[in-house]
Amino acid sequence: MSLSVILVKILEYMFVAGWVGSAVVLVLTGIEDVGTLLDREDEHSH
């Protein structure tokens, strides 16, 4: 396997692993965002 192929494979793993982790970020922050939107206690609208 050539060096370029190895490097491309590393990039692919980074991208896939990154997306899996980012999906978790999206879910967790999404849940938190719902809470933030529902909490209107100290909302300041001008």
Partner 1 sequence: MSSTSNAPTGNNRVRIVVATSVMLTFISYWRAAAVILNDLGSSAFYAGGIAEQAIGKSAPWFVLGVMLFAFAVRAVYVESCSMFVRGGVYRVVKEALGGTLAKLSVSALMFDYILTGPVSGVSAGQYIAGLINDTISIADVHGLIPSAVHHLFHGTPQVGTNATAVVFAIAVTLYFWWENIKGIEESSEKALWVMQITTVMVVMLLGWSFFTLLKVGGHLPPFPTLANIHYSDTSLGFWKHSKLPHMFGILGLIIGFGHSVLAMSGEESLAQVYRELAHPKLKNLKRTAIVIGVYSFVFTGLVSLLAVMLIPDDVRTKVYSDNLIAGLAMHMVGPQVLRLAFRVFVVVVGFLILSGAVNTAIVGSNGVLNRVSEDGVLADWFRRPHKKYGTTYRIINLIVGLQLFTIIVSWGNIYTLGEAYAFGVVWSFVFKTVSMLVLRYRYKGERNWKVPPNFHIFGIEIPIGLASVGMVLLSTAIVNLFTKSVATVSGLIFSVIFFAIFTFSERVNRRKHAHTAAQMKEQFQLQQAESVERETVGIRPGNVLVPVRDYNTLNHLKWVLERTDTHEQDVVVMTARISQFGAAAYGLSTEQMFSDYEQTLFTRAVSVAESFGKKISLLVVPARDSWSAIAQTAHNLDSSGVVTGLSSKMTTAEQAFALGSAWEAIPEPKRQFVLQIVQTDGIVDTFRIGPHTPTMKNEDVVLLHRLWLNVTREPGLENIHHHDILTEALTRFAHDYGARDRDDIVKELRRHNVAGGALPVRRIADQIPTVQPKPVRPSRDAGSRDDGASSPKSGSSE
Distances 36 to 2, 33, 39, 41 between C-alpha atoms, Å? 50, 5, 5, 10
Q: How far is the CB of 31 from partner 1 (least distance, A)?
A: 9
Q: Binding to partner 1 (CB under 8 A): which residues in 2-41?
A: 4-5, 8-9, 11-12, 14-22, 24-26, 28-30, 32-33, 36-37, 39
Interface residues with partner 1 (CB under 8 A) are: 4-5, 8-9, 11-12, 14-22, 24-26, 28-30, 32-33, 36-37, 39, 42-46
